[in-house]
Every structure is written in C-alpha cells, then in structure tokens.
Amino acid sequence: MHLPFLQIGARSPIFGCMKKFLGALLNPIDMERAELIRDGALLANDRGVITYAGPIENAPEALEAETVDHQGLLLCPGFIDSHCHIAQARAVNVRYASLLAWLEKVVFPLEIGYDRNEAAAQAPRFFKHLLNNGTTCAGLYVTVSAQATDEVFQIAKRMGLRAVIGKVMMDAYSPDGLLEDTQKSVDESIALCEKWHNAENGRLRYAFTPRFALTCTMELMKKAGDAARRYDANVMTHVAENPMEVKRAGELFPKSQSYLAVYRDAGLLKKGAVLGHGIYLSDNDWDIIRDSGASIAHCPISNLLLESGIMNMKPPLDRAIHVSLGSDIGAGAEPAMTEVAESAVTSQLARKVLGHEYKLVSPQGAFYMLTAGGAKALDIFDRVGDLTVGKEADLVAIDPRPCLPTDDWPDDLDASSLLYALLFRYRQKAVRAVYVKGEKVHSNPSA
C-alpha cells in the first residue's frame, strides 16, 4: 500500500554521512488518520533532512550511512509544545481557582525574580524535562527580562532543541519589576529578534510576545504587530482563557468589537501567531482567526486546573483552523505532551457527557495536533511535523511496551490502538531517544 508520506524507492544523493534509522514508523496524516509501518527505515542526510521514509525493503542503498538501530521501537515525529512558560516551572504545584488571582499571587512574583542567573540555573533542567518526554520543539514565554530571554536562547542553542521563544511584553497594569516602558520593551524585543530569529539554520525562532491585552497598551501591541510582520516572526499571546479576563479586556478596550478583536485591531493576528486558550470566543471571533491565518494553542490540563473551563473544539476544527497543544507550564502540571493529548481527547468527551457542544477528538487527531498541528501553528510545517521527505528529522524513539497492558506489542496492533495506549497509558520510560535534525539530543538507554 502506498502511504501519503512515503516516496517508495526514492533515491537521493549522499550528502556526507547519512543516517539510516531503523524501526517502526508512525506518521500523522490528518485528524482522523495515522500510518504505521512496522518494519520501516528513515534516511536523513548530513543536514538532518529526510530523504526516505518507508518500508525497510524499499529503502535505497546508502553505503556511507550510519545505521541507527531502533528496531523494536517506534519512530514518530517529535512532539511540539506550542504554549508554555519556562519561568513558571516553580508554580506547577501551587493552585488557585482563579486565573487573575493566580497571576497576581504566584506567577508575577516568580517572574520578577527570573533574571539571567535564574535562567542559567533553571532552563537546562526545564529543557531536560521536555526532552525526557519526547518534546523536540516548544513555544516558550520567558519574562520581561531581555537578559533572561537571551540566556534561554543560549541554552536552547547549546542543548540542541528547536524552539520559538519570546520576551514577554508588559507596559500597563503590571506590578513593579514587570512594568515596562513601552518603547524600551519594543526595542529590546526587536534586538532579540535580530539576534535570534532563524538562528541555527532556522532551529530557533523569535516570537513577539505581548502577554495579553490586560497588561499591554494598544500602542505596544501595534508596535509588536508591526515588528512581527517586518521580521516575519511569530507572535504569542493569550486570549479568552477566563470569563473575568474577558470582562476586563472589554473594559480596557471598549472600542474593539471583542477581546479577540483587540489583537486584530493591533495587527497581531497573522500566520505564525499562536493564541493561547481561546475558551470564550464567539463564532465571529473564530472567523477572524481563520481569515487571519492565526492559530490556537489548546491547553486542556491547565484550563481544568485553574477552573477556567473546557474549550469547545468544534468551532476551530470545523473552520480548519490549526489547533496545537500546549502544556501551559506552570498553570499546567504536566510537561508530557502525550498526557496533554490525552486530556484533549477526554475533555471533549466531558463536554459530550455534560450536554455541551463538542467535537470528539480521536487518538489519531490528538497525535496530529501534538505533531503536525503544532508545526502548522508555529509556521514551521515546511521543516517539521511529520515524516515527509524533505522535512528535518526531529524524531522520538519510543518503546510502546511499557504503555501496553501486557508489555507485549502484537503484530496486529494498528495505529489507532497503539496511539490509544501511548496517550492513555503513557510512561516516561517509554521515551528511549530524541533527535533534532537527525542529531541525538537525549537518550535513556537504561529504560
């Protein structure tokens, strides 16, 4: 059977030392389909670009290739966490039933103290947690500190992860220590963008990151939007996570049609703009997002833990809006994106049981959102997100047996059943190795 992501028998020139990965290949196709090849091979050239992915018997000869033997394991695209806060890791175990109170009492004090030294101490451990769970790419909010943001970029560069990183921008209604001068915030963000956007041959990208409308002036947001378009950079912000937040946005920006429209009016909505949460959006809001090319980062675990609500997946999916998944550390308590994906499945089941509008998400759909969906949201699908020839080899090698009820992987287990096990019985020890652009950045051989 010809699979959509394969070029069966395709031959490509050898570029220096190629790598030939052996193992079962699991690839996202769309929200309802994933393809599984039990005996597969994937070739990547010396630039980490995939030149073949398919059945091992059809793999082209590559005499100069280094063999990376993961037979008996599963090879799939690296997981993408499109929305998390690297400075909030210490907030994971602190709970509030209100977003705004949690920000005031827990998050803002933490972020005030997150300087370059704190970033240097904490970021390597944070990135190690991501890699331990198969995350190869993250959309990261830092803090208002340009120095801390620069340090996070430096550590991501050194550790080999793929990342979209932004200095948080806050010039209104913010505590001392976080409140910025508008122009200084913009200038520092532009300087970071000029230094880091598309660094490491595109592995690192910059995102202009106004925290949300409640802590930003329209002037700042417009300047951020202008800069993001000028540099073709990403945008990251929050929208409609909590009813009180929505109410406050309406009070601050009465001339805008809605909370979401504040960002449209500021010019922040564009391809590569990732909006966190979006629980309380109208049909018109969803139309604006669709027409702008922006996307939504669905954060189901944090939405429940802060008692914000349960997002309805029907409006964005019916409009073919790119939906990615976010751990939202530290409101979210779990860096494992497979568990976030599980919550994306169960949250829609909860909406159905409670009699609310819903759109059921299959395990294949959740897998798509945490791989291809994340890449599309961050506007890097030309590079990563699936195992298509021409993409960069961001891979996770997983032993599915710890996730299977009998520690056995029968030959007749299809992609849907395998994904169900990975999502609902995930064990961190299942992740055996992680690769970015074909280079190993993490391993757990003793698992």
Same-domain pairing of 198 and 239: yes
Query: How do residues 120-133 score in pLDDT, each as one tens digit?
Result: 999 999 999 999 99
**Residue 8, pLDDT score:** 32
Same-domain pairing of 234 and 350: yes
pLDDT over 90 at 361, yes or no? yes
Domain boundary among 359, 377, 395: 377
Same-domain pairing of 355 and 396: no
In this prediction, residue 254 has a pLDDT band, given cuts at 50, 70 and 90, of very high
Same-domain pairing of 306 and 242: yes
**Residue 251, pLDDT score:** 98
| Cα dihedral 221→226→231→234 (10° resolution) | 40
What's the rounded mean pLDDT across residues 3-18?
A: 43
**Residue 63, pLDDT score:** 72
**Residue 62, pLDDT score:** 76
Query: How do residues 91-125 score in pLDDT, each as one tens digit?
Result: 887 777 789 998 999 999 999 999 999 999 999 99
CATH code where residue 31 lies = 2.30.40.10
Query: How many domains does one find in the chain?
Result: 2
Query: How do residues 390-416 score in pLDDT, each as one tens digit?
Result: 999 999 999 999 999 877 888 888 999
What radius of gyration do the chain's Cα atoms show?
Answer: 21
pTM of the predicted structure, to 2 decimals = 0.95
Query: For residue 325, what are the β-bridge partners?
Result: 298
Same-domain pairing of 72 and 97: no
Those residues with Cβ within 8 angstroms of residue 358's Cβ, 6 or more apart along the chain or in another chain: 312, 313, 314, 348, 349, 351, 352
- For residue 35, the enclosing domain spans 19-78+385-443
Tokens 């073709």: give the residue: 232
Same-domain pairing of 237 and 294: yes
Looking at the chain, the whole-number percentage of residues with pLDDT higher than 90 is 87
Indicate the pairing of strand 273-277 with strand 295-298.
parallel
CATH code where residue 130 lies = 3.20.20.140
Indicate the pairing of strand 273-277 with strand 19-30.
unpaired
Query: How do residues 15-62 score in pLDDT, each as one tens digit?
Result: 348 999 999 999 999 999 999 999 999 999 999 999 999 999 999 987
Same-domain pairing of 175 and 242: yes
Query: How do residues 269-310 score in pLDDT, each as one tens digit?
Result: 999 999 999 999 999 999 999 999 999 999 999 999 999 999
Same-domain pairing of 335 and 403: no
Domain boundary among 350, 377, 404: 377
**Residue 445, pLDDT score:** 67
> What is the identity of the amino acid at 181?
D
**Residue 447, pLDDT score:** 52
Same-domain pairing of 109 and 64: no
